[in-house]
Amino acid sequence: MSVIKLLCTTLGKTLGFFTVLVVFIAATLNYFEDSETVKYTSMAEDIKTLEENFRQQNKSCFILGASGETGKLLLQELLEHNIFSKITLIGRRQLTFEGKTYENLVQEVVDFEKLDDYAAAFQGHDVGYCCLGTTRAKAGAEGFIRVDHDYVLKSAELAKAGGCTQFHLESSRGADKNSGFLYLKVKGQVEADIEALGFDRFAIYRPGVLLVDRQESRPAEWMARKFFSAVSAVGYRSMSVPIQEVAKAMVSNTVLQPEQKTEILENKDIATLGKSAGK
């Protein structure tokens, strides 16, 4: 009986611990939950009508980072919605696609270390999308700064000089140029530097943890995505978002009419707009 009592006591303590842990996590997530944004909660605009009006303007766009997880889905969404007369992919290598859907794509291969030599690739576009990025683990601190700040900013500068009026940047939740964390500091700094260029419209997307099954996935990353996917399923949308919703939100937001030149879409805004676009 003593063993049974001990076992019951241990199980009770363990259950109590996990109960407290779950309550703590829920309270923390609730504290950090983004406030509701009316603009994206209620889609008063008719997206289909806006898309048709936008399509008739015969605009062109380019995508940076089309080989990445978000970039690939963004390209698919743009092709599906067919709101641009011309789509150009700008990257360090030629990408291979199968099917007639991709036959009219234009590809420009550039050396990001010598972008000034490829200024022509950035000319003549109305809208630019940037999903370019790496990680400190892959590229080291200097390499991360060079890709996520230097390459991105230089591309934006060339696009602006080439006539681009609308720029959409995939950033990160918590981006802040004054942050003590390198990742968030770099993301925040490039946001500020691009805003200073003076695009007619600059949209910043700050997703949380991207819910996607990456081809390159460490065990810790896999566990984190599973955790945030479960959390998202029970209603907390500020910490993570399915990557498909990011791509959908970027496309739908392109045709909306913002009230100001620079807008920041936090994780919940992205999720709400992405879901609305999928209906």
Residue that terminates a domain, selected from 57, 73, 105: 57
* Domain co-membership, 109 together with 160: yes
Which domain does 202 fall in, by range?
58-277
Catalytic residue among 59, 86, 177, 183: 183
Task: Clarify whether residues 81 and 198 are in a common domain.
Answer: yes
Whole-number pLDDT of residue 238: 60
Domain identity same for 123 and 253: yes
* Residue 276 pLDDT: 78
Q: What does the alpha-carbon distance between residue 21 and residue 25 come to, in Å, rounded to a whole number? A: 6
Catalytic annotation present for 31:
no
Residues 50 and 133 in one domain: no
Averages of pLDDT over each 10 residues, the chain, 279 residues: 54 49 46 54 70 96 96 97 97 94 95 98 98 94 98 98 98 97 98 98 97 56 44 54 96 92 96 80
66 in the same domain as 32:
no
| Residue 138 sits in the same domain as residue 261 | yes
Catalytic residue among 160, 187, 248, 275: 187
pLDDT score at 37:
54
Give yes or no: residues 50 and 166 share one domain.
no
**pTM (two decimals):** 0.80
State yes or no: is 177 an active-site residue.
no
